[in-house]
Structure 1
């Protein structure tokens, strides 16, 4: 009996929390809650399209001595490149940061 009462109270609390959405307005008073902007052309492909195939022949597997170590390049054309290679399960991710000097 108590579990039924508890369920009913929980349902009432949830319905009270699900109040109608507060309209979002701009400083001029324009309601923008119903405005849906079209996605830019370059984002329309998204994750819905076919994924990239796993091609291990693109680059060789990095050596274990370069994982989690900072790599830098010589300053060329006023740009310094800093990189790091990280392993995630069976994949390797190399992140390169470029900074003008």
Structure 2
């Protein structure tokens, strides 16, 4: 049980880092296209939903509540749905207008 308590929050950090990092790096490029704005906002909302789940687990463990699994049954499907919508939006933005933005972004990093 201790391994699950330690490993599960660490696994939850992966989507939080991915979605927040992607959204923050593309934040300044959102003025260029509607698809980019939508992808960035969905990405940030998805990162936020996984952060809420992580906070629920940590706070539940700190105050000693044993019902955090019931809360996870409610929140994890919601976070998964939001993440799927976010990934679809990111892919859609990359195939439409964001590909140009990524090229410009990588060109600026090379300079």
**Structure (1 or 2) with the greater helix fraction:** 2
**Structure (1 or 2) with the greater strand fraction:** 1
Structure of greater Rg: 1
For normalisation by structure 2, the TM-score amounts to 0.22
For normalisation by structure 1, the TM-score amounts to 0.24
